[in-house]
A and B are shown apart, each in its own frame.
Chain A
């Protein structure tokens, strides 16, 4: 069976599978996208944000 066929049988054939797959992948994409863009943002603005300088002012509270 071809890849597309596999795909169809696995995901699209039943609505009871299809809808949860949509929800789950939206959830996973949301988290992944946020992690990705945040990582880029943090490296682009390295050293400028509060979390980069916080250690200068807060003693480790352990």
Chain B
């Protein structure tokens, strides 16, 4: 009985399907009622948990309850967002988007800019900021040739040891050494900067909302405080810094460094270069990543196209077949 009903239902479905897209057998209409009557009990929708009144009540209760709980906890409705007194002055001015030469999905870093940026970091920022995660060797083949880097590293003294007398000793830097720190520890850094800690710059581009745009805007954004805003002694007004008062003074001024490649060292040029350098420092895999991304998209795109085509090819007989129900002539 059960298997008979299932067969009838299957037939019904296939013939209904065939009416919608193809011509049905002429006798279809008469047979429909009879077949339907015989299988009605098994096709009627069972009363389900999804349609019961208790479910509706429970879901409503859960929704209202969780909204009430959230509102009680956080003092504002969820998802809508309350009105708050936060302002640009509190959160920092949103930095403008800048047309970085490495911005596009296929654009590599401008390595000449990284090289100039390293110079700005070394001559300006390194007086206060460490760059812990970059070793000398990381510059090789990115912004400098290996002999240049060996020379630069050798100019710095590193403590090493212990030697066979058990004593630490000083030696010139090697490619494997990390960038020297301006201060031996955090306390010394704070003491040298009126209590503020100059953050390590290795990952600063990734660590700040607005990323490279923010760092660039911060470096070039120093202005006099607007009327009515007073900045505590020792702090400086910068609208891009959350709160507006930053312990780092403006450090970049036109002509501060001299680029060997002849690029005019304007404030914005230096800010752009040092930000590009810091972006590289935070994302040294950047160029390789974009290139591999291009290759992966081509390969996976072709494979997807191929598999879609193969699927359609294999399914063609099934998708184009036509099922017609011809009722037995001798049915009562």
Contact = CB atoms under 8 A, between A and B. Distances in A.
B101 A48 contact: yes
B112 to A, nearest CB: 5
Nearest to A52: B111
A57 to B, nearest CB: 5
Nearest to B291: A41
B148 A53 contact: no
A41 B141 contact: no
Contacts, number: 45
Contacts of B238: none
Contact of B109 (A40, A41, A48, A58): A48
A34 B261 CA distance: 33
A4 B274 CA distance: 61
Contacts of B295: 33-34, 37
Interface residues on B, range: 20 to 34
Interface string A14-40: 000000000000000000011001101
Nearest to A34: B295
Nearest to A61: B147
A7 interface: no
Contacts of A45: 106-108
A37 B298 contact: yes
A37 B302 CA distance: 15
Contact of B145 (A37, A41, A44, A58): A58
A53 B111 contact: yes
Nearest to A44: B106
Chain A, interface residues (CB within 8 Å), range: 10 to 19
B143 interface: yes
A55 B294 CA distance: 28
A48 B111 contact: yes
A38 B292 CA distance: 10
Interface in B131-178: 141-145, 147-148
Contacts of B107: 44-45, 48
Given A33-B295, A37-B294, A57 B109 contact: no
B211 to A, nearest CB: 20
A50 B142 contact: yes
A49 B261 contact: no
Given A33-B295, A48-B110, A54 B287 contact: no
B111 A49 contact: yes
B298 A49 contact: no
Nearest to B115: A53
Interface in B86-119: 101-102, 106-112, 115
A40 B291 CA distance: 10
7 contacts: A41-B108, A41-B294, A48-B107, A48-B109, A53-B111, A53-B115, A58-B147
Given A49-B108, A56-B261, 14 more contacts: A33-B295, A33-B299, A34-B295, A37-B294, A37-B295, A41-B291, A48-B101, A48-B102, A48-B109, A50-B111, A50-B143, A53-B115, A57-B145, A58-B147
- The 3 A-B pairs at the shortest CB distance, nearest first, are namely A45-B108, A48-B110, A50-B111
Interface of A: 33-34, 37-38, 40-41, 44-45, 48-50, 52-54, 56-58
